[in-house]
């Protein structure tokens, strides 16, 4: 071996030895690992489901946020707001910068609204009533509504503010001045002011996010440095990963038995509640369910307590609590918890007798969404319950895409569909309007195809009236009306339950005084605390 080769070998050896030696005090990077259902939509104007909301609430900010542990909203990007007729004016903070370094101004708010309305996707229907937004100056923005809309400020929870300058620099192909409105760019990159920035994103596999050092509220040291949000993991995989200490927070879609097993292994259970329910929706245009008596018979025959038992995780924690009506307990217009719905077969038989159809001739189609295995159990429960009234039924498994397509026409919609529906802003309007207003019939939320003048009138009163007491009265009346005509069976008030390792503390999902009362907001990563163990 010549001298050169020996020297090179010695240099390599010393270099590799150096690389192995500690180079000073090391601070371990904390990584939070969690999972959600398949496909994470990063574009905030297209965000609609839970996975999208987690991304949206961390990468972007909104003008207001829900108060923790109490009803109402508190300022966030906005310092204050005021209403004057159909105009709502927000004063913005001056110290907020986007992750790109661009300052956040009223122009960005106007752009975000225009973009949301132009794309018409996700939850853009919340802003259909907004005529325009105007920037009065750099820090003042005014929204002008077409008609009065009482819960307007709450809908601001679903308007994430996008970095206009950055998006305009990255417009993709398309017609007109705005080309694609930056859709291609925002499907793969973040352009927000949030506490976490996207470092890698594959909508079907994983999104990786890292702390944004310049966040205007600061990010505590205890918050995770990196977050890995994985999509579409099988329940058995999540079960094993958490047990082995390789995963931190599960999605809410784990079956109760799996959550229970994890809890018995020492995992903590986190909860989020108060904004939605499990609705068994009946097609009010198809015989025999076009007769309210027949619907009431089914609603009375449904075994509510069996449903609650089915979703119980432990003696204390369940994926739901007994329903008291169409509106979940705690929301405006809800009945008190003591009004629990329960099964009454005698009453069910009376309603059946009053129904104008002959029971024996009827065959009811009970559908369940293929992606939600729990629904098959409810389908079997209903089949057994309805059989006691002499009603024959058949169970039909439907993939979500097929279901969403079929509900657009009343004649193609199954007799019975099962859905979990949430108030996307926490206000009953966003829960009930989409389900029961005759103008909203035929969407995935409204397979009832309900057309009831009284319901329409009360829904309108609830959204137009700015007086809280009058709204409360309208929603109470609406609740009663919906109980009387039973377009749905109100299965139970939903509570999301997540299994988590003990490496992370999530006050917003474990301490009621820190809870937000808005789905997905509990996953605000900057408020989580990573533990040393």
Partner 1 sequence: MRRIFYILLSNPLSVIGLVLVGTVVFSAVFADFIAPFPSHRGAVVDFSNFNQPPHWPNIFGTDLVGRDVFSRILYAYRISLILGVVVLAIAVPIGVTVGLAAGYLGGWTEFCLMRLTDVFLSIPPLVLAMSVMGLLEPTLTNGMLAVTTMWWPWYARLVYNVTRSEAQEGYVLAAEIIGASRLHVMFREILPNCVPSIVTKMTLDLGFVILIASSLSFLGLGVQAPTPDLGSMVAEGGNYLPDSWWLTVFPSLAILIAVFGFNLLGDAFRQVLGSDQ
The CA distances from residue 340 to 257, 426, 532, in Å, are 25, 22, 43
370 lines the binding site for partner 1 (CB under 8 A): yes
Rounded CA-CA distance 464/458 in Å is 10
Which of these segments, 144-152, 191-199, 388-396, 510-518, binds partner 1 (CB under 8 A)? 388-396
236 lines the binding site for partner 1 (CB under 8 A): yes
332 lines the binding site for partner 1 (CB under 8 A): no
Handedness of CA 453, 454, 455, 461 (dihedral sign): positive
Q: Of 6, 94, 132, 309, which one interacts with partner 1 (CB under 8 A)?
A: 309
400 lines the binding site for partner 1 (CB under 8 A): no
Q: Of 137, 257, 353, 511, which one interacts with partner 1 (CB under 8 A)?
A: 257
Q: Of 83, 144, 345, 381, which one interacts with partner 1 (CB under 8 A)?
A: 381
270 lines the binding site for partner 1 (CB under 8 A): no
Q: Of 165, 377, 473, 514, which one interacts with partner 1 (CB under 8 A)?
A: 377
Written in H, E and C, the secondary structure of 211-278 is: ECCCCCCCCCCCCCCEEEEEECCCHHHHHHHHHCCCCCECCCCCCHHHHHHHHHCCCEEEEEEEEEEE
Q: How many residues bind partner 1 (CB under 8 A)?
A: 28
415 lines the binding site for partner 1 (CB under 8 A): no
Contact between residue 516 and residue 68 where contact means Cβ atoms under 8 Å apart: yes
Nearer to partner 1, 197 or 239 (CB): 239
Quick one: how far is CA 32 from the chain centroid? 21
Nearer to partner 1, 35 or 448 (CB): 35
Nearer to partner 1, 31 or 381 (CB): 381
Nearer to partner 1, 306 or 464 (CB): 306
Place of tokens 């966040």: 215
Q: Of 8, 70, 387, 484, which one interacts with partner 1 (CB under 8 A)?
A: 387
Q: In whole angstroms, how close is the CB of 401 to partner 1 at the nearest point?
A: 12
Closest of 421, 204, 468 to residue 326, by C-alpha: 421
Nearer to partner 1, 264 or 513 (CB): 264
Rounded CA-CA distance 95/316 in Å is 44
373 lines the binding site for partner 1 (CB under 8 A): yes
Q: In whole angstroms, how close is the CB of 134 to partner 1 at the nearest point?
A: 50
DSSP designation for 439: G
Q: In whole angstroms, how close is the CB of 363 to partner 1 at the nearest point?
A: 13
Q: Of 240, 344, 363, 502, which one interacts with partner 1 (CB under 8 A)?
A: 240
- To the nearest 10 degrees (0 to 180), the angle between helices 345-354 and 292-301 is 160
Nearer to partner 1, 63 or 258 (CB): 258
Nearer to partner 1, 377 or 505 (CB): 377
Q: Of 234, 315, 346, 411, which one interacts with partner 1 (CB under 8 A)?
A: 234
146 lines the binding site for partner 1 (CB under 8 A): no
DSSP designation for 97: B
Contact between residue 108 and residue 162 where contact means Cβ atoms under 8 Å apart: yes
Rounded CA-CA distance 482/336 in Å is 16
396 lines the binding site for partner 1 (CB under 8 A): yes
Nearer to partner 1, 56 or 379 (CB): 379
| Number of Cβ within a 10 Å radius of residue 185 | 18
364 lines the binding site for partner 1 (CB under 8 A): no
- HSE at residue 261, side-chain half, CA atoms within 13 A, is 13
Closest of 42, 156, 150 to residue 92, by C-alpha: 156
Place of tokens 């005759």: 438
Nearer to partner 1, 406 or 510 (CB): 406
Backbone angles phi, psi at 47, to 5 degrees: -65, 135
Nearer to partner 1, 221 or 257 (CB): 257
Place of tokens 């929204």: 143
Q: In whole angstroms, how close is the CB of 473 to partner 1 at the nearest point?
A: 39
Q: In whole angstroms, how close is the CB of 531 to partner 1 at the nearest point?
A: 26
401 lines the binding site for partner 1 (CB under 8 A): no
* Torsion (CA) 16, 19, 22, 25 in degrees, nearest 10: 180
Rounded CA-CA distance 173/176 in Å is 10
Q: Of 49, 206, 290, 376, which one interacts with partner 1 (CB under 8 A)?
A: 376
Contact between residue 455 and residue 482 where contact means Cβ atoms under 8 Å apart: yes
Which of these segments, 7-15, 200-208, 233-241, 425-433, binds partner 1 (CB under 8 A)? 233-241
Q: How far apart are the first and last CA of the chain?
A: 50
Question: What residue ranges bind partner 1 (CB under 8 A)?
Answer: 234-236, 239-240, 255, 257-258, 261, 306, 309-310, 370, 373, 376-377, 379-381, 383-384, 387, 393-397, 399
């Amino acid at each position: 071996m010549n001298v050169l080769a020996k020297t090179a070998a010695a240099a390599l050896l010393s270099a590799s030895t150096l690389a192995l030696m500690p180079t000073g005090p090391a601070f371990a990077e904390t990584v939070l690992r969690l999972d959600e259902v398949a496909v994470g939509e990063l574009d905030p104007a297209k965000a609609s489901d839970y996975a999208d909301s987690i991304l949206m609430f961390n990468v972007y900010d909104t003008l207001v946020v829900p108060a923790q542990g109490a009803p109402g909203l508190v300022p966030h990007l906005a310092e204050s707001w005021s209403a004057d007729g159909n105009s709502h004016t927000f004063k913005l903070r001056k110290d907020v910068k986007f992750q790109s370094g661009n300052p956040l101004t009223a122009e960005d708010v106007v752009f975000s609204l225009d973009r949301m309305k132009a794309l018409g996707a996700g939850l853009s229907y919340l802003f259909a009533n907004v005529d325009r937004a105007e920037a009065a100056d750099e820090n003042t923005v005014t929204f002008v509504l077409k008609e009065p809309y009482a819960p307007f400020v709450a809908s601001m929870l679903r308007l994430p503010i996008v970095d206009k300058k950055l998006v305009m620099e990255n417009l993709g192909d398309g017609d007109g001045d705005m080309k694609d409105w930056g859709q291609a760019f925002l499907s793969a990159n973040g352009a927000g002011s949030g506490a976490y920035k996207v470092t890698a994103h594959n909508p079907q596999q994983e999104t990786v996010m890292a702390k944004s050092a310049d966040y205007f509220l600061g990010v505590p040291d205890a918050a995770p440095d990196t977050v890995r949000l994985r999509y579409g993991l099988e329940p058995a995989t999540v079960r094993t990963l958490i047990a082995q200490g390789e995963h931190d927070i599960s999605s809410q879609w784990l079956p109760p038995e799996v959550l229970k097993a994890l809890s018995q292994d020492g995992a903590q259970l986190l909860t989020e509640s108060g904004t939605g329910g499990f609705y068994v929706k009946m097609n009010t245009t198809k015989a025999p369910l076009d007769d309210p008596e027949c619907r009431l018979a089914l609603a009375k025959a449904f075994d509510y307590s069996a449903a609650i038992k089915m979703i119980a995780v432990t003696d204390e924690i369940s994926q739901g609590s007994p329903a008291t009506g169409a509106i979940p307990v705690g929301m405006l217009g809800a009945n008190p918890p003591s009004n629990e719905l329960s099964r009454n077969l005698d009453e069910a038989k009376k309603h059946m007798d009053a129904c104008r159809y002959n029971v024996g001739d009827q065959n009811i189609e009970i559908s369940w969404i293929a992606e939600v295995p729990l629904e098959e159990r409810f389908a079997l429960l209903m089949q057994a319950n309805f059989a006691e009234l002499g009603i024959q039924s058949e169970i039909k498994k439907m993939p979500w895409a097929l279901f969403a397509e079929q509900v657009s026409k009343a004649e193609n919609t199954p007799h019975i569909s099962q859905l979990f529906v949430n108030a996307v802003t926490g206000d009953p309007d966003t829960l009930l309007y989409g389900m029961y207003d005759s103008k909203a019939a035929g969407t995935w939320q409204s397979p009832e195809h309900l057309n009831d003048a009284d319901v329409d009138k009360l829904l309108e009163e609830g959204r137009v009236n700015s007086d809280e007491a009058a709204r409360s009265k309208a929603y109470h009346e609406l609740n009663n009306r919906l109980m009387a005509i039973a377009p749905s069976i109100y299965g139970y008030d939903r509570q999301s339950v997540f299994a988590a390792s003990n490496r992370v503390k999530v006050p917003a999902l474990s301490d009621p005084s820190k809870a937000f009362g808005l789905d997905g907001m509990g996953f605000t990563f900057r408020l989580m605390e990573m533990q040393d163990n």
